[in-house]
Structure formats: C-alpha cells, structure tokens
Chain A
Amino acid sequence: MIQERPLPTFSPTAVQLSREEGLALYEDMVLGRTFEDKCAEMYYRGKMFGFVHLYNGQEAVASGVIRGAMRPGVDYVCSTYRDHVHALSAGVPAREVMAELFGKATGCSKGRGGSMHMFSAQHRLLGGYAFVAEGIPVAAGAAFQSKYRREVLGDASADQVTACFFGDGACNNGQFFETLNMAALWKLPLLFVVENNKWAIGMAHERATSDPHIYKKASVFNMAGVEVDGMDVLAVRQVAQTAVARARAGEGPTLIEALTYRFRGHSLADPDELRSKEEKEFWLSRDPIKRLGSYLLEQDLVTSQDLKTIDQKIKQTVEEAVVFAEQSPEPAPSELRRYIFAED
C-alpha cells in the first residue's frame, strides 16, 4: 500500500445545515449507491452490456457539488465515463438512467448512448464522455456560453455555473492543462472537480503524476485550487459553495481536488487485483453515506427512522426503475438512422 496522503481536515462545527438539506444530501447519496449496486446485479444477470463503471464510494462528490452547491436543471453538469450518479444528482430520473443502461428507447439517450454516454438537455447534463479528459473543454464551452450571453447578448440572468467532473488520470492529459489555461484567462464560470480516487484501471496515481497534489496545478494558471476530503459530503459542499459563489461573481474558475475512492473495480469487467486489502479497508471505513448519517443523528437533525424511511423509499425507486427499464420498448429498427443529423 502506498503511503496515504494526509487528508485535509474539515471542521463540521461551522456547518450551517438544515434538516431538509441534510436529508436531501443523504437521499441523493443513497440513491447513487443503491442505483449502482442494482447496476452490478443487473450486469451480472445479463441485463446490461458493455463497460459499466460504478461510482460506489464517491457519492459525496456528486452530491456535495451538485446537490449541495448548484442549481440542478439550471446549472450545467459535465461528466465522464463514470456518469450514472452525476446524471442522478443532476436530476435525471433513475428510470431514465436505468432504461438507458438497458438500451431502451425510454433511456435518457434513447438507447444510443449507454453507460458512458448519459445526456439530458432538460437537466442540463452535457453528457458522459468515454475518452479521458475530452469532456473538460466541452464543459468550458458551456461556461463560455453563459459568459457570452451576459457579455454579448446582454442577458443578466445568464449566471449559470458549469461543473466539470473528471478523474485523477485526466489531469495528466493536455486537454486538462489547455482548458485550465483558457478558463482562467477568460474567467469562465466553471468548477473543475477532480475525483481523485487514486487509481486509473491498474495505474496508481502516484505512478502517473510527477506531483500527485493535483490542486496545486491551479496556481500555475493563477487560479484558485483547493483539496477537500471527498468522503465528506459537507466538506465537499462547502468548498463547492465557495467556488460557485466565485464563479457567479465573475471571478473565474476553481480547481477542486476531492480525495475519494472507488469501492469497486474500475469497471464491472475489472478483476481489481492490484489494490491492497488494507488500502480498501482504510477507505471503506470512511464511507461517506454512513458518515453523513452519523453526523445528522449526532446533531439531532434527524432520527434513525428518518434515514430508514429514505433507504426504503430509494430502494423502491430503484426497483421501479428496473421494472420501467425492463418493460420499456427497444428503439425501433426503423429509427436506426435517427439523430445522426439535427433534422432527423
């Protein structure tokens, strides 16, 4: 096991959190976890195909940023190939994400996208991008568009912020550096959210990156950079709120490095033989969902019955999503060529 990097400390005493906000974050994370566990089950039962990359363990990042700091359906979200949970946090109904994984016509990408290509214009989800780092400049384009509407079209209400999620591996790719440069140069309303889960498929972050502290790379671009405990949804929420406020105020982008961990292999096809037992146990003990649950109970914001009620509700939502996906029609063969061009 590689020496663990000290995690940034976060004091929850300063957190202003209402019961409703706490429950909303908890529900969003439970939805992400339950949905992904169901995906694994469905994959092994032969209901979904291709590469399926699950998000277990990283829920605090999507929930903390999107649910904790953004306006789902108004602000933009751009994802990676590990995109199911970003889609859910952005507000895409679980049934539409599940139907997409089943390749059905009712899926959010009409069965054309699959696991790595979740899109929803309605929910301002700019998509999952299968090639590492390619979503980063696309997200910058959405942020540029918001800026353009304000500067050129005189639309004062164009205050949307874009959150761009990507992994540690993307931070060694040219598109990361190129886009950080443009975003800082033009002060784009953009959050670069690195989900540093320590591993590419079988390549440890420390073996791929000369300085593993990704957040420090922001300073080169005269940009704010911050590291955060990505297993603590309240810590993520707080840095994201600061970054969103900065973006909306026209002060430019922020690079957020969330230190997190994926509890499963890279994909469901990955035997996951390289990561040590101790390393996995260390991170499993920091489960963000259990952590938030304990915090909410300690603060007397909720009762254990409240949490159980949510667990049950989400379980039902996900079961219904499966039924919906199973019962949905396949895309019609006559529509094979539909959507190649805008006119179709």
Chain B
Amino acid sequence: MAETAFFNALRAAIDEEMERDATVFVLGEDVGHYGGSYKVTKNLYQKYGEWRVVDTPIAENSFTGMAVGAAMTGLRPIIEGMNMGFLLLAFNQIANNAGMLRYTSGGNFQIPLVIRGPGGVGRQLGAEHSQRLEAYFQAVPGLKIVACSTPYNAKGLLKSAIRDNNPVLFFEHVLLYNLKEDLPEEEYLLPLDKAELVQTGQDVTILTYSRMRHHVLQALPELRQRGIQPEIIDLLSLRPLDWETISSSVRKTHRVVIVEECMKTGGMGAEITAGVMERLFDELDAPVVRLSSQDIPTPYNGTLERLTVVQPEQIVSTVVDLVGGKI
C-alpha cells in the first residue's frame, strides 16, 4: 500500500477483517450511509450491506449492550463510538457486561468485541468531546485497552483487536486521523500486549502513548542538541502494560518521564508510576516524573486548551532538569 492516511489504515483493517470473517460487523451512529464521522467506515456499507454495517439509533448504552449479546452468541461486533466520550453513556454495558461477564459466567461466554473511535483533546471541540477515557476504563477488569498512534500500528493493532476473543477498547486520537505513512503491501498484525520502542537511548526512559508520542518526537531534536539521548517507548497497550519492555529500559536509563494526555489524578501515569515503584524502585536514580493533562474540563478557548495539554517545550525542560539532576 502506498502512503496511507490514519483513517484509511483503520478502514483497511476493518475491511480486511470483514472480508476474512463474515461474523465481523460494524455498528454505531452514522457508520453506514454516512461512512462514519471520520470516514473510517466509508463505503463499507455499499460493500457489505446494512446488516454488516449497522446504523444504530443514538442510544449508546443499548447498542453497546446489543453488541455484547451478539458477541456472547458468536458474532464479532465492532462498535464505533462516534466520539469515545459518548461511551460514558455506555459505561454500564462496557464495565458490567463487556468487562465482567466472562468471569461472572464462570467461562460460559466470551465477548469478542471491539469498541473503537476518536478520543483525546481535539481542537476546540469543548469539554465533552475532549476526554481522556483511559483513566475511567483502566480499572475495569476483563477489558483490554489499546491506544494507537500511527497509521502502521493503527492497522496492525485493530486487526488483532478484531480477532481477539475479549472486549478491546481501542482508542484513536481525533487529531491523528490525517497522519500519513507508507504501509506494507502484505498483511500484518501487531500484538495487543507489546509496547513499541520508538527511539533507543540511555539517559532517560520516556513512556508515552497516542498523540503525545508525537509531542515527544517533536521534543527529540532539542533534547539531542542538549546532548540527551532519551529512550522513547510508545506503550500502545494500556492494559495490559508491557512491563517487560518498560523494565528493560528503566534498568538501562534509571530515569522515567511519563508523558500522557490523561488526567493526572488517577490517570494512566499514576498507575505506571506505582508499577515502576513496585517493580523497579532499586533501579531509579530519581523520582518518576509525570507530565499529564490538567485536571480540568477541557476549555473551548484555544489558548486555554493548549495549556491543559502537555506541550513539546514542557517535555524538553522537564527531561533536561531530570537528566541534569535538578529534579
């Protein structure tokens, strides 16, 4: 495949899996005739028909519950959350049923379900459309959580998520849909429990995911100019976290900076920090540092919005201070 936009990489993943397996179907708001609000399901309705690309009424909790029932009885639904924030309205079905039901049923049923869609802080979309949901869902047992960040990993991870026999929350970022990249012609899948080593280095481990991977990469030239070689890890899988990759990096660098768009309080960074403390305390030369979003509803105003999210210059100064022993 030639240069492919992020949204088309996702579309290709769904198309390939629908073609391969007739039990795979898509449901959600405006996924059919309209092609999805970010065009991830564009023209799939024409190809697969209205029973495989199902336009649902605006009823998040109920169509999510319907997907749970369909998954329990042998189908493989892919729910598109038009905006992942809307899935707070489906919290009951995601947490109580998708997440727990395999366990409470004593293994009677499995829930091969993917819930995917755009999330994160967009560009002046207002508070409700600019949410970091991983903080809420990471505590639900039985869910896998993936955050993709490039067209390449988006495609490979989504194909794996569709084939997985468990419920997978698959986070895309609203500001990454037009990112382009050359993708391999041949089919590939990526594991749902492995982080990606984006950049090797020895001075500090930067743990990040989703859009913040790109902010970290923007900070990289400046850090190098200052003689700092960071090791950058894109977590990709937020649950389970790939502690093998994280641990081997921390054993090398002895310093950790977490760069996330998640809320600080109770966020992914809080969980990772605790995990590093539990597993790697003796390896640390300095406290773990978290760069997180502010604990506020995302403001509409562009300047204020920018201030809520971690920016590349903030990453530079924090890493410089940490490596220089000022933290």
Contacts and interface: CB of A to CB of B under 8 A. Distances in A.
Contacts of B71: 141
A56 interface: no
Given A119-B106, A134-B93, A340-B141, A141 B65 contact: yes
A111, A143, A148, A174 interface centre (most CB from chain B within 10 Å): A148
Interface in A118-147: 119-121, 126-127, 129-131, 134, 136-147
A148 B66 CA distance: 13
B22 A153 contact: yes
A151 interface: yes
Interface residues of A, number: 49
B108 A109 contact: yes
A1 interface: no
Contacts of A178: 57, 59, 61-63
B267 interface: no
Interface string A202-230: 00000000000000000000000000000
Interface stretch (B1-9, B72-80, B200-208, B213-221): B72-80
Which of A141, A142, A148 has the most B CB atoms < 10 Å from its CB? A141
A175 interface: yes
B56 A138 contact: no
A72 interface: no
Interface stretch (A179-187, A237-245, A286-294): A179-187
B216 to A, nearest CB: 31
B289 interface: no
Contacts of B107: 110, 338-339, 344
B81 interface: no
A137 B73 contact: no
A113 interface: yes
Interface string B60-94: 01111111111111110000000000000000110
B108 A131 contact: no
B274 to A, nearest CB: 20
Nearest to B48: A152
Given A174-B62, A182-B57, A342 B165 contact: yes
Contacts of A129: 97
A187 to B, nearest CB: 12
Interface in B190-241: none
A340 B103 contact: yes
A141 B59 contact: no
A342 to B, nearest CB: 4
A82 to B, nearest CB: 16
Given A112-B103, A138-B66, 11 more contacts: A109-B104, A137-B61, A137-B69, A138-B93, A140-B69, A175-B62, A339-B105, A340-B102, A340-B142, A341-B166, A342-B164
Interface of B: 22-23, 25, 49, 51-52, 56-57, 59, 61-75, 92-93, 96-97, 101-112, 141-142, 144, 164-166
Interface of A: 76, 78, 107-113, 117, 119-121, 126-127, 129-131, 134, 136-148, 151-153, 174-175, 178-179, 181-182, 185, 338-344
